[in-house]
Structure 1
């Protein structure tokens, strides 16, 4: 039992030595916990239209609303408590980023690993499709698909999956191609074992480290893409208090001095994305010995 848990313990010990990464990890964990607990700790439910009052709209931070409580960060253009909207927005962004990232991870890993195992024309065809997709910016692909599918949470998730899976497929193909040439895979093929078993139980598990690194980056990328698409009006509908939608709703009021409607959601988004990227950078350095000093 001790030997089995030793690699994980060593990983976390090395991770904790980088104070910046450790701080980013704590911030990320805190944001995740706060986002998941939003229904319990938020002063107001932004989805409850009966509790919203237009007379409370665009009020400055510290305003005491008709509900009897203090709006610490003010209210947005719809009269929603901005702190509550940010907590729910973080929750929505986390859900969309995690779901789209997990599905894109699965699809991309299977495509890349299968292509490396099959080889030949199938490999060439699949990788040409992946390379063609990677030649376009992810935001452009996501924007086009989201515009075609229309506004909505599930439509946005599908658009993000399509825009991200190619990164996992290319990474998985490179790792699986290297594993495919190793002796243990050749021995498994000589038995012979079923192709599905060789891919899922031998090649894919040993290709996971680089995929995990890409996953940490892509989750942050998915959250950024969701905010961008919602800001551009092709992501979530206006009734969804996502961070991108909150920023978009307050953008028109910046010049009138009502900065808090856009600034505070923007700060929350930046902190979340930067923390995720710092954690991903540290994980990448630890899983890739060539990057270690």
Structure 2
């Protein structure tokens, strides 16, 4: 026979926010019902497959130089033409997808793993510790994102690891402030008060009850942050603070080919630029679609 304390415990268990997170079939139907989100999803899946299969699908070795065939325009032999060293641009764009896509994923993961716990702790406990954490986030937000990433990468020295860490640090305040606001809102909900009443610890309430209910906006922000991370990483490589030549990376390829735009070799920078543009567009479109699906207010208004 159930006691009063057992009934109180069951009542205190937080229920998933079903209004914000639709069922699996409904979620995919709503997401793919949005044509722009579907286009973004196709771009992302396409570039991800290219990155995974790059070693098997490249038509030429992206690092072999051929001075006799340098600066060739697009043709049947070289679909995207060749660069100033005679390297096949299509092969380098395909190889560049590996670095750009994985750089975005790793950088966003760094921002998520560090920013979410910091913002959640600051929002849940508040006080001096919460104020200190959020003031540190405000300091990071006071600097333009690219300028801060450049400063961090320059201090650490050029290289892929420097770019990853720089882009990851720049994205921390966005996640921290987002989860901070969500936590402040959710900590006043009835299920949190009920959990406290039956003796559930603060850590359990925060990480098992509040964070799962704040997951939807975090997923949207992570998806949109992927596009920002790819663009910032490419910008660092373009400026010489990221990947070093001759490694195939979209930003570095544009940097190497920018001197040839005036002389008419447009293909050297155009195709890496299209790679950056379509990857960022894909994540932005998918992020907008996720926001529409996961926000019940936007769903109800359509």
Q: When the two structures are superposed, what TM-score results if normalisation uses the length of structure 2?
A: 0.88
Q: Which residue of 1 aligns with 2:75?
A: 62
Aligned counterpart for 1:46 among listed residues 62, 73, 76: 62
What's the offset of the Cα at 1:24?
2.2
How many positions carry a matched residue from both structures? 281
Q: Which residue of 2 aligns with 1:25?
A: 41
Are the equivalent residues in 2 in contact too, given 1:92–1:242 (CA < 8 A)? Answer: yes
Are the equivalent residues in 2 in contact too, given 1:39–1:45 (CA < 8 A)? Answer: no
Aligned counterpart for 1:7 among listed residues 14, 19, 23: 23
Specify every segment of 5 or more residues in structure 2 that has no aligned partner in the other structure, as ranges.
1-17
Q: When the two structures are superposed, what TM-score results if normalisation uses the length of structure 1?
A: 0.91
Q: Which residue of 1 aligns with 2:98?
A: 91
Are the equivalent residues in 1 in contact too, given 2:97–2:249 (CA < 8 A)? Answer: yes
Quote the Cα distance in structure 2 between the aligned partners of 1:227 and 1:150: 16
Q: Which residue of 2 aligns with 1:116?
A: 123
What's the offset of the Cα at 1:35?
1.8
Q: Which residue of 2 aligns with 1:177?
A: 184
Specify every segment of 5 or more residues in structure 1 that has no aligned partner in the other structure, as ranges.
64-69
The correspondence of residues 121-132 of structure 1 with structure 2, limited to 5 A, is: 121-132=128-139
Larger Rg: 2
The correspondence of residues 128-207 of structure 1 with structure 2, limited to 5 A, is: 128-207=135-214
Aligned counterpart for 2:269 among listed residues 236, 246, 262: 262
What's the offset of the Cα at 1:266?
0.7
Are the equivalent residues in 2 in contact too, given 1:101–1:219 (CA < 8 A)? Answer: yes
Q: Secondary structure at the match of 1:87?
A: helix
In structure 2, relative to structure 1, the CA distance for the partners of 1:192 and 1:79 (3 Å cut) is farther
Aligned-residue CA RMSD (Å): 1.8
Are the equivalent residues in 2 in contact too, given 1:100–1:158 (CA < 8 A)? Answer: yes
What's the offset of the Cα at 1:257?
1.1
What's the offset of the Cα at 1:9?
1.0
What's the offset of the Cα at 1:6?
7.2
Whose RCO is larger (CA < 8 A, sep 6+)? 2
Are the equivalent residues in 1 in contact too, given 2:110–2:169 (CA < 8 A)? Answer: no
Deviating more after overlay: 214-223 vs 197-206: 197-206
